[in-house]
Amino acid sequence: MTDFRPSLSELRAALPDLAAEAKARAEEFETLRRLAPDFIAKLKQAGVMRMLVPAEVGGYGVSLTEGLEMLMTLAEADASTGWVCAHGNICAALIHASAEPRLCDEFFADPAAYASWSNLPRVQAVEEAEGLRITGSWGFESGCTGATFVGGMVMLPPVAAGAAPRMVAALAPIHEARIEDTWDPIGLAGTGSHDVHFDEVFVPWRRTFPWPFGIAVAPYPAAVVVGGAWFITIAAAATHLGLARRALDEARNELHGKINRITQRPLLENPATQRRLEAAEGLWWACRAGLREALTEVWDSALRGEPATTAQRIQARVAGVTAVQRGAEIVREAYDASGASALRRSGPMQRLLRDASCLTHHISSNLASYEMTGRVRCQIDELNARI
């Protein structure tokens, strides 16, 4: 394990400057279709990718709610930065909580440790005595251009007839993989979510672990993140809450000082505009408050050394999905309220609108999530790792 670790107070102090730089360079990242390498280095140096892992592995061990707020701050500045950092934190927390000690030691020994993986495999995996030999690729591997370990979910045959297939995460050092330049989206272009390709890469068993049906090996409270896509949903929710906050502020900036050509009154005095923006403010506040309450309940269980209950996992997932879906609506409301000036390609409202159009389709935060949580809540289905 590494002794490298700034203090939490240093991270909090560094966050505003990192957010300001992300905001200033957002167009650059969009053009590059990834975060610039020098900026990724700054994020790693500050320890941004280790907020949710405990101090013994070089992290900060912040609560889920504090982690949410920090990630929202970065997403408000630049949604691509927020998503990459949120994704990196989710991966690090899951490695710490569910991977075997040898992988944890190898991964966290590097001060720049940062993993990226995907649950969209197009791979063939051959089981050998000591591990897996993998050929193929994973799609939508967010942040892979700055990662130290990459890979993704692998489907393995069941151990017995009639049993479910085995699902594991398989990771390899970035130098053993090849990044295929495939990321050309309408929004979140700066995330660098390219395909990652393995060509006969041998992954020893120690670099694999069950996922998403994980098994907790770390002590609580860190172990609470294992089991369920609710934890992954936090990344999408933090990104969209940050996006929505920025959009509301930018809408007022767009309207400030503008005059209605017919009435000669300030546009911000228009009652319909005020109703629209204030309703969106209330919705943003409710989404943020609901997610914070759900995560607080999960974290309180973790501090007691207990796993999240079924009800807590459902509520965390529903709150996160709602933050994503309603967050996209808030961005659209802010865009529509901003008037014709929001049409400028070079203006921030265009990028915010594009960025808000992506994670509503993510597997952890799409509308189908409500069907899964509803069926479990109504006791039609049993709780599973998809929630």
Mean pLDDT of 372-382: 95
2 has pLDDT over 70: no
127 has pLDDT over 50: yes
pLDDT tens readout for residues 342-365? 888 888 999 999 999 999 999 999
Percent of the chain with pLDDT over 70: 98
33 has pLDDT over 80: yes
Mean pLDDT of 63-71: 98
CB atoms within 10 A of CB 131: 18
Give me the pLDDT at residue 311, please.
Answer: 96
Smallest CA-to-CA distance from 348 within 78, 86, 80, 82 is with 78
Q: What's the pLDDT band for 298 if we cut at 50, 70, 90? A: very high
Span of 2-16, 55-69, 115-129, 281-295 with lowest mean pLDDT = 2-16
Fold entry, domain 115-210: Butyryl-CoA Dehydrogenase, subunit A; domain 2 (2.40.110)
Give me the pLDDT at residue 212, please.
Answer: 87
- Report the DSSP pairing between strands 149-156 and 208-210: unpaired
Give me the pLDDT at residue 265, please.
Answer: 82
Q: How is residue 203 annotated by DSSP?
A: E
Give me the pLDDT at residue 1, please.
Answer: 41
Give me the pLDDT at residue 7, please.
Answer: 87
Span of 35-44, 160-169, 277-286, 315-324 with lowest mean pLDDT = 160-169
Q: What's the pLDDT band for 385 if we cut at 50, 70, 90? A: confident
170 has pLDDT over 70: yes
Give me the pLDDT at residue 185, please.
Answer: 95
Q: How is residue 191 annotated by DSSP?
A: G
Mean pLDDT of 158-186: 93
Q: What's the pLDDT band for 5 if we cut at 50, 70, 90? A: low
The Cα–Cα gap between 353 and 359 comes to 12
Fold entry, domain 8-108: Butyryl-Coa Dehydrogenase, subunit A; domain 1 (1.10.540)
Span of 214-218, 263-267, 378-382 with lowest mean pLDDT = 263-267
pLDDT tens readout for residues 141-152? 999 999 999 999
Mean pLDDT of 178-207: 97
Cα distances from 333 to residues 205, 223, 273, 337, 359, in angstroms, run 49, 39, 10, 6, 17
Place of tokens 């098994």: 215
Using a cut of 0.85, tell me whether the model's pTM lies above it. yes
Fold entry, domain 228-377: Butyryl-CoA Dehydrogenase, subunit A; domain 3 (1.20.140)
Domain ranges of the chain: 8-108, 115-210, 228-377
Give me the pLDDT at residue 3, please.
Answer: 47
H-state helical runs in the chain: 8-24, 26-32, 37-46, 64-77, 79-98, 101-108, 230-255, 271-303, 310-337, 348-355, 368-377
227 has pLDDT over 90: no
197 has pLDDT over 90: yes
The Cα–Cα gap between 367 and 387 comes to 13
- Report the DSSP pairing between strands 208-210 and 166-173: antiparallel
Give me the pLDDT at residue 4, please.
Answer: 52
Cα distances from 62 to residues 215, 228, 326, in angstroms, run 22, 20, 26
Give me the pLDDT at residue 160, please.
Answer: 84
- Whether residue 294 contacts residue 216, with contact meaning beta carbons closer than 8 Å, is answered with no
258: CB partners within 8 A, 6+ apart: 266, 267, 268, 339, 341
209 has pLDDT over 60: yes
- Report the DSSP pairing between strands 149-156 and 115-118: parallel
